[in-house]
Amino acid sequence: MADNVLIDLNGKSISMSHEFSLRQRYFSAIELSSKPFKAKTGPDVLGYLHDQITPAHGVTIYNGVLGRTSHMGIHGTDNNGLWLDSVVIRDFEVAGIQLNGASNVHLSNVHVGPSLGAPESSGRLPATATFSIAQFMSNTIQNTGIEWMHEFADLKSSIDSFVADKVQGRLFDRHSIFEDPAESSNGLPDGGALYGIHFHTTGPSSHDFAACADAQQQDYSIPHRKFQLTNVVIQDLHLKADEVVRMMWRKKSYGNEPLPPVALTGILGETFQGVGAAHHDGTYRGNRLVEAQLALQKLKNANTQATWVNYGNVSLPNEVLSWTRGMGTLEDLERAGLSYDCERDAMGHSNKGAVGLRLDGVDDVRLLNVAIANLKNVGTRGPGVTAPRSVGNRWCLW
């Protein structure tokens, strides 16, 4: 990364093509650090790199448009000195601007919005968050040298067929796990949060808001200072914050203190979507994403030399593997230690909704003529939710 850089957009725009936005589900138009996450932070396989991050300092960006991106318009970590002037940031899926651990940031004459899928945006979001996870998972397995199983090939085939149909404008199977069957979604981003502008501490921001105990684990001891926003408009952020029910497993306790339940996860720490892969009677039904998650766990179990780098955070107990082989129902698993956690997205992040401006762990903030308008949240409960705190007849954790 280079310091003291001036980026003159010269009245032009930077945006992803339709196919590229499907193939690369983690992309920012401008990244202000050598990688998105610091060592040992972020999504498990992506963040667990020992190389230290190198941030850019003293960057000026002005006079243009940052258009369609599958993640953010501008992202950075530990940057000092950013001036953004006369820039429009639009058609993003996660955030217009997100800076973690930044200081000395000045935004002037900036317009953020609409987000992708909102009225007046460039188009509809092409797929659900489940597709993004499948794409991440397939790429990660291929890049880390994991033994190639037919379940991984089947998942990749589904991904490639989906992309080809979307790019060529063909109708895809509405029952696909990558398609949103709800006509009310209007092609909106499908995730836990959508930000116009987000200034945060150095650590990831996937936790709940700072009133939550998880958020209090962040380091707020050294606030990041000096943020000035002048003549800034944030508008038309629309999000479909669907609930993805997370399966939890309580291991047998040793001694007097029961062990807390742990989440069932895949290679990236994503939610194991077993609830959505079950028949109404609680027996296993399956789909290609879940089958690939299961295959990864089976490989890990068979490899006595398994390393974290290869298999990431995949964590599925043997009892759940037995259930997927046709032994028992979800009700049987509940008696053995299964419970549920609600109000999460597909990555297991807390659902927070559309947020115009979020300031977390920052100090010395000055706002002059900042307008925020037209934030909208829609969404659906997870599979089988019939009461505010239940999944079918199964209770979620709160």
pLDDT of residue 41: 61
Least confident of 11-20, 116-125, 199-208, 222-231: 199-208
Give the residue, 381 or 384, on which the prediction is more confident: 381
Structure tokens at 185: 């979604």
d(CA 82, CA 73): 14
Token pair 């979507």: residue: 273
39 — pLDDT class (breaks 50, 70, 90): low
Is the pLDDT assigned to residue 100 strictly greater than 50? yes
One-letter amino acid of 261: P
Q: Are 245 and 385 spatial neighbours (Cβ–Cβ below 8 Å)? A: yes
Q: Of the candidates 36, 43, 38, which has an alpha carbon nearest to the alpha carbon of residue 266?
A: 43
Least confident of 23-32, 175-184, 232-241, 369-378: 175-184
What would the mean pLDDT of 159-164 be, rounded to a whole number?
90
Q: Of the candidates 106, 64, 68, which has an alpha carbon nearest to the alpha carbon of residue 87?
A: 64
What beta strand segments (E) does the chain contain?
Answer: 5-8, 13-14, 28-31, 59-66, 72-77, 80-89, 95-100, 103-112, 193-200, 224-240, 246-249, 262-263, 338-341, 353-359, 362-378, 390-391, 394-397
d(CA 93, CA 282): 34
Work out whether strand 246-249 and strand 95-100 pair parallel, antiparallel, or are unpaired.
unpaired
173 — pLDDT class (breaks 50, 70, 90): low
46-86 pLDDT, tens digit each: 555 566 789 999 999 999 999 999 999 999 999 999 999 99
Q: In the beta sheet, which residues pair with residue 89?
A: 66, 112
pLDDT of residue 181: 59
d(CA 121, CA 118): 6
Three-state DSSP class for 92?
A: coil
d(CA 93, CA 96): 8
Give the residue, 185 or 141, on which the prediction is more confident: 141
**Single pTM value for the model:** 0.86
Q: Are 394 and 256 spatial neighbours (Cβ–Cβ below 8 Å)? A: no
Structure tokens at 34: 């050598």
42 — pLDDT class (breaks 50, 70, 90): low
Q: Of the candidates 205, 227, 223, which has an alpha carbon nearest to the alpha carbon of residue 36?
A: 205
pLDDT of residue 387: 41
Percent of the chain exceeding pLDDT 70 equals: 80
The radius of gyration of the chain's CA atoms, rounded to the nearest angstrom, is: 21
d(CA 15, CA 36): 19
Q: How many CB atoms lie within 10 A of CB 387?
A: 11
What beta strand segments (E) does 305-361 contain?
Answer: 338-341, 353-359
User: Per-domain residue ranges for the chain?
Assistant: 27-124+190-241+348-378, 129-179+246-341
Three-state DSSP class for 42?
A: coil
pLDDT of residue 159: 92
d(CA 98, CA 42): 14
pLDDT of residue 272: 93
What beta strand segments (E) does 201-303 contain?
Answer: 224-240, 246-249, 262-263
Could you tell me the sign of the dihedral formed by the alpha carbons of 377, 271, 176, 148, in that order? positive
Structure tokens at 161: 């067929």
321 — pLDDT class (breaks 50, 70, 90): very high
- Type and span of the H or E element at 320: helix 318-324
Give the residue, 279 or 92, on which the prediction is more confident: 92
d(CA 109, CA 231): 5
254-304 pLDDT, tens digit each: 666 777 889 999 988 899 988 888 888 889 988 999 999 999 999 888 886
Three-state DSSP class for 376?
A: strand
Q: Please classify residue 336 by burial: count the beta carbons closer than 10 Å to its beta carbon, then call 0-12 exposed, 13-18 middle and 19+ buried.
A: middle
